[in-house]
Amino acid sequence: MSDDLITYAGWGRALRATGELRRAHDPASLKAHAPAIGNRRSYGDAALNSGGAAVEMTALDRVLAFDRDAGLLTVEAGLSLGEIIEITAPHGWLPAVVPGTGFATVGGAIAMDVHGKNHHHAGSFCQHVTALTLMQGAGPRRLTPADGALWRTTCGGLGQTGIITQATLSLMPVRGAMMLVTEQRARDWDEHIALLDGSDASFTVGWIDATATGATLGRGIVEEGEICRGIAPRLKAAKTVPFDAPHWALGKHVVKAFNAAYYHRVPKGGRSQVRALQDFFFPLDRVLAWNRLYGKRGFHQFQCVVPLGARDALRDMLGTITASGLASPLAVLKRMGPGRAGCLSFPMEGYTLAVDFPNRAAARSLIARLEAATTAAGGRIYLAKDALSSGAAIKSMYPEFPDWAKAARAADPEGALQTDLVRRLELRT
């Protein structure tokens, strides 16, 4: 293991930590004396440990076994989901669930029990994990769903039960390695919700114009995807944002103009086209370091989910966002199913809204109002994105929190695996 004292951040770059990063190269040398981190794609402080050490897992990225007949893949925790697609797609298999970035590691996907554009059909990531190996203080331990409380505390459990070193994934069979994508305009909130509710596509996601007001509130584009055979357009080389953008780069007038152009790029009658899988699953990965567009101060993402019956409350929240003039072009609306694997897993059956905001005092105040509205609507916020919430709010949103806390204390009695997020939210006290 190699050690370095550095200052590092989550993807939002609004919160930072200074400490040792112990880069793991050999699973046999791992000790559960510090929290594990991957590619740090959580937006807030879930992967930070200020003043302490963290174990950086990305060098542990080997494929350990691949049963091409059964679709079972065993990998080390540092392998990214994008790399898994490159390995398995030519053999007719894909991860059953992927989030919006291919840079997420397997360990991180388990620790956050991530979801994707097919949650309404496939549930969450950990529902397709058949086994994992957890390094605890007493040594390695193999877990399966039959392990009950410890499994449900580990899945979506923020890495508080041990260091995930490897996992076996049950893959999804596919007959093709391309994506047929159909795009439709949604003229307003009601039409947007109706398109999401009425979709029977395997993958569905809505981009929402968070600057549209009045009669056009909630307008956007709904994308439906089906895996297919064919020849997709060749992927262009990824570009990078080479410097921190000035504060006005995502000012409200710039965002409003961009959103209008983005909405009108889809014809009124809609359109269908074949895309590469990565282009559909991970569109922002084609712009490396896109988080620098928000400048040196970084950004916050607010992501909530509310029950099906609270869609009017979510519409009111969107109205609050549009009135603020603070939203960026990155805003997503999805219909979710009931699938979740852990006590602190984010999903519930309902609608999830995710919006990015530049890191400003007005945005932090707005997010606090949105969090209160989420609580009142019976919803919850996503810990993979959070940087601002309070422990009392989170504990009220997750009714299984007491069960999680009890099992986490038993698995890590010394609190060695705590991160900045866990301390901020007082989840282990």
Q: Which amino acid is at 334?
A: K
pLDDT(240) > 60:
yes
Average pLDDT for residues 130-137, to the nearest whole number?
A: 97
Residue 365: φ, ψ to 5°: -65, -40
121 contacts 337 by C-beta, under 8 angstroms: yes
90 domain residue, yes or no? no
Domain extent for 297: 178-395
Q: Which of 105, 110, 115 is nearest to 41 (CA)?
A: 105
DSSP, collapsed to helix, strand or coil, labels residue 218 as coil
1 contacts 32 by C-beta, under 8 angstroms: no
Q: Give the pLDDT of residue 429.
A: 86
Chain segment 45-70, per-residue pLDDT in tens: 999 999 999 999 999 999 999 999 99
Q: How far apart are CA 43 and CA 298, in angstroms?
A: 10
* CATH code, 255: 3.40.462
424 domain residue, yes or no? no
Q: Give the pLDDT of residue 118.
A: 98
45 domain residue, yes or no? no
Chain segment 80-117, per-residue pLDDT in tens: 999 999 999 999 999 999 999 999 999 999 999 999 99
Q: How far apart are CA 37 and CA 260, in angstroms?
A: 38
245 domain residue, yes or no? yes
Longest pairwise C-alpha distance within the chain: 61
Q: How far apart are the first and last CA of the chain?
A: 30
240 domain residue, yes or no? yes
19 domain residue, yes or no? no
- Output the six-digit token pair for 258: 């961009």
422 domain residue, yes or no? no
Query: Of 4-8, 120-124, 196-200, 206-210, which range is least confident?
Result: 4-8
- Output the six-digit token pair for 320: 């609050």
Chain segment 401-416, per-residue pLDDT in tens: 999 999 999 999 999 9
What one-character DSSP code corresponds to residue 237?
Answer: P
DSSP, collapsed to helix, strand or coil, labels residue 8 as strand
Q: How far apart are CA 193 and CA 215, in angstroms?
A: 15
Chain segment 177-229, per-residue pLDDT in tens: 999 999 999 999 999 999 999 999 999 999 999 999 999 999 999 999 999 99
The residue assigned the tokens 């969450």 is: 124
103 domain residue, yes or no? no
Q: Kindly give, in sequence order, each residue whose CB lies less than 8 Å from that of residue 93, ignoring residues fewer than 6 positions away.
A: 68, 71, 73, 171, 172, 173, 174
Mean pLDDT (the chain) is 96
Q: Give the pLDDT of residue 3.
A: 64
Q: How many domains would you assign to the chain?
A: 1
DSSP, collapsed to helix, strand or coil, labels residue 282 as coil
